[in-house]
C-alpha cells in the first residue's frame, strides 16, 4: 500500500518536473514560405533544404538558449496568392515568432503586408530593391539588390575602359527588374546603353537578338540580366556567332549547372557573384572563407547536391535571425526584430552584413566578387 502511494507520488513528481522543464524550454516556431516547387523551384528548393538542415543542426546542438526550434515550412509553388494565404496561416494559426522565406519578389511583396500587420519580423530572399526601399519596419532581406549587381558590372566595365553596352534581358521578374535598375544607374558610371533586346524565359534560341547586337556598330560589351537557363542559351549563341566583345551575365545564374549548360561559350564570361561560388578558391585570409566552406561542406554532405547561391540567401537569413534570437532578451517577435536590425559585422556567405534602421539588407559592394569563368570553373578577377 505504502509502496503504491510512493509510486504514485513519484509519478506525480516526474510529471510535475516534466511539466516544469517543458515550460522552461520553450519551443520557438520559425515560419517559412518558399517556392520549392513550380517555376521558381530553382530558387526555393535549395532554400528549403538549407533551412531544414540548419534547424536540425541547431536542435542537435541543444537549440537556442536551450529552446528547441520548430520549422513550419510551406510551399507556395511560386504563386503569390498561395503565398499570401500561407503567410496569414503562419501569423494567425501557427503563431510563429519570425518568418524566413519568400523566394521571389512577387511572393515576398504579397506576404509583406501580412507580417507588417501582424508585427512579425520577416527575412526575405527576394532580390529586387523594392522589398527594402522604402524601409518597412518588419521586413528584411539577405540577397544583394539587382542595382548592386549592375554597379559591380559597371565598375568592372569602367576598369576595362568600356562604355557602350547592349542588353539582352529576360522578360521574367528578375530580368526585367535588373534591366530597369541597370538602365537607371548607367549614366552615373558614364555607361551608354546603345541597344536593347529581350528574350522570353522559355526561349530556346537567341541567335536573332544576338545577331542584331552583333550588327549594331559601337557595342563594346553585352550584358544579359536573367536567371535560370535563359542566360546559358544566350551564352551558347554568343559563342556560335563568334561575337568578339566581352559578355556579362547576372548573379542570378550563380550555379555550376550554368557552366555545364553554357558549355564552351562560358569561357571568359564575367559575372558578379557571392563568395559562396568561389569556395576553396577564396584566399586563405578571406574573412568569408570559413563560413563559406562550412556551409558548402554541410550542404553537400546532407543533400548530395552542389551548393547554390539561392540556398546561400537562406543560410544568411537564418543565421542572422538565429544570432538575433541569441541576443534578444525574449523570444517575442518585437524583441527579435530589434536585434535583427542591430546586426553588425555578421559574416555570411553573401557578404558582411551591417543592418541599420535605414538599411534592412546591410550589404555593400564588397560582398560581391567579380568572377570570370575559365576552363569550366569560377576564377576571381581583381
Partner 1 sequence: MLNRMLRSRYLPAFLMLAAMLALPYVLPSTYYLRVASMVFVFALAAMGLNLLLGLAGQVSLGHAGFMGVGAYAVAIGPTHLGVPAIPSALAGVALSCLLAYLMGRPILKLKGYYLAVATLGCGLLISMVLTNEAQWTGGPDGMGVPRLVLFDAPVRGVQTWYYVCGVALVIGMVLAINLTFSPTGRALRAIRDSEVAARVVGIDVARQKLFVFVLSAAYAAVAGSLLAFVNGHITPDSTSGFLRSIELITMVVLGGTGAVLGPVAGAAILVILPQALTVFHDYEHMILGLVMMACMIALRQGLVPALTARFRERTA
Q: Which residues bind partner 1 (CB under 8 A)?
A: 37, 74-75, 78-82, 84-85, 88-89, 91-93, 104-106, 109-110, 112-113, 128, 130, 171-173, 176-177, 180
Report the residue number, 78 or 362, with the smaller CB distance to partner 1.
78
Closest distance between partner 1 and the C-beta of residue 40, in Å? 10
Report the residue number, 130 or 207, with the smaller CB distance to partner 1.
130
Side-chain-side CA neighbours of residue 331 (13 Å) = 18
Report the residue number, 58 or 110, with the smaller CB distance to partner 1.
110
Closest distance between partner 1 and the C-beta of residue 106, in Å? 4
Closest distance between partner 1 and the C-beta of residue 6, in Å? 42
Report the residue number, 171 or 220, with the smaller CB distance to partner 1.
171
Helix 309-327 and helix 41-60: axis angle, to 10°?
40
Report the residue number, 74 or 378, with the smaller CB distance to partner 1.
74
Closest distance between partner 1 and the C-beta of residue 183, in Å? 12
| Selection from 264, 276, 236 nearest residue 373 by Cα | 264
Closest distance between partner 1 and the C-beta of residue 364, in Å? 24
Closest distance between partner 1 and the C-beta of residue 74, in Å? 6
* Rounded distance between C-alpha atoms, residue 1 and residue 303, angstroms: 57
Closest distance between partner 1 and the C-beta of residue 49, in Å? 11
* Rounded distance between C-alpha atoms, residue 148 and residue 275, angstroms: 15
Report the residue number, 171 or 354, with the smaller CB distance to partner 1.
171
Report the residue number, 81 or 158, with the smaller CB distance to partner 1.
81
Report the residue number, 179 or 239, with the smaller CB distance to partner 1.
179
Closest distance between partner 1 and the C-beta of residue 41, in Å? 12
Amino acid at each position: 500500500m505504502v509502496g503504491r502511494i510512493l509510486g504514485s507520488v513519484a509519478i506525480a513528481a516526474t510529471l510535475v518536473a516534466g511539466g516544469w522543464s517543458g515550460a522552461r524550454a520553450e519551443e520557438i516556431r520559425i515560419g517559412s514560405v518558399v517556392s520549392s516547387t513550380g517555376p521558381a523551384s530553382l530558387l526555393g528548393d535549395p532554400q528549403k533544404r538549407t533551412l531544414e538542415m540548419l534547424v536540425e543542426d541547431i536542435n542537435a546542438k541543444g537549440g537556442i538558449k536551450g529552446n528547441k526550434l520548430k520549422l513550419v515550412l510551406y510551399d507556395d509553388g511560386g504563386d503569390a496568392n498561395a503565398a499570401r494565404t500561407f503567410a496569414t496561416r503562419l501569423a494567425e494559426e501557427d503563431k510563429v515568432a519570425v518568418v524566413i522565406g519568400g523566394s521571389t519578389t512577387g511572393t515576398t511583396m504579397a506576404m509583406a503586408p501580412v507580417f507588417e500587420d501582424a508585427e512579425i519580423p520577416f527575412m526575405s530572399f527576394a532580390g529586387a530593391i523594392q522589398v527594402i526601399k522604402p524601409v518597412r519596419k518588419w521586413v528584411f532581406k539577405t540577397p544583394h539588390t539587382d542595382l548592386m549587381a549592375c554597379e559591380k558590372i559597371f565598375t568592372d566595365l569602367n576598369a576595362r575602359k568600356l562604355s557602350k553596352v547592349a542588353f539582352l534581358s529576360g522578360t521574367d521578374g528578375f530580368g526585367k527588374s535588373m534591366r530597369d535598375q541597370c538602365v537607371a544607374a548607367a549614366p552615373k558610371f558614364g555607361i551608354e546603353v546603345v541597344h536593347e533586346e529581350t528574350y522570353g524565359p522559355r526561349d530556346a534560341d537567341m541567335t536573332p537578338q544576338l545577331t542584331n547586337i552583333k550588327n549594331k556598330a559601337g557595342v563594346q560589351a553585352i550584358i544579359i540580366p536573367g536567371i535560370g537557363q535563359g542566360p546559358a542559351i544566350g551564352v551558347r549563341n554568343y559563342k556560335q556567332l563568334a561575337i568578339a566583345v566581352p559578355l556579362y551575365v547576372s548573379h542570378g545564374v550563380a550555379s555550376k549547372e550554368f557552366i555545364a549548360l553554357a558549355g564552351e561559350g562560358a569561357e571568359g564570361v564575367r559575372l558578379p557573384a557571392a563568395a559562396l561560388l568561389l569556395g576553396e578558391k577564396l584566399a586563405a585570409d578571406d574573412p568569408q572563407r570559413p563560413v563559406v566552406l562550412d556551409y558548402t561542406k554541410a550542404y553537400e554532405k546532407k543533400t548530395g547536391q552542389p551548393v547554390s547561391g539561392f540556398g546561400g540567401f537562406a543560410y544568411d537569413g537564418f543565421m542572422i535571425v538565429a544570432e538575433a534570437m541569441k541576443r534578444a532578451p525574449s523570444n517575442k517577435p518585437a524583441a527579435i526584430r530589434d536585434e535583427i536590425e542591430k546586426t553588425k559585422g555578421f559574416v555570411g556567405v553573401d557578404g558582411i552584413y551591417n543592418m541599420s534602421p535605414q538599411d534592412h539588407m546591410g550589404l555593400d559592394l564588397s560582398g560581391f566578387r567579380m568572377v570570370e569563368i575559365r576552363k569550366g570553373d569560377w576564377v576571381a578577377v581583381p
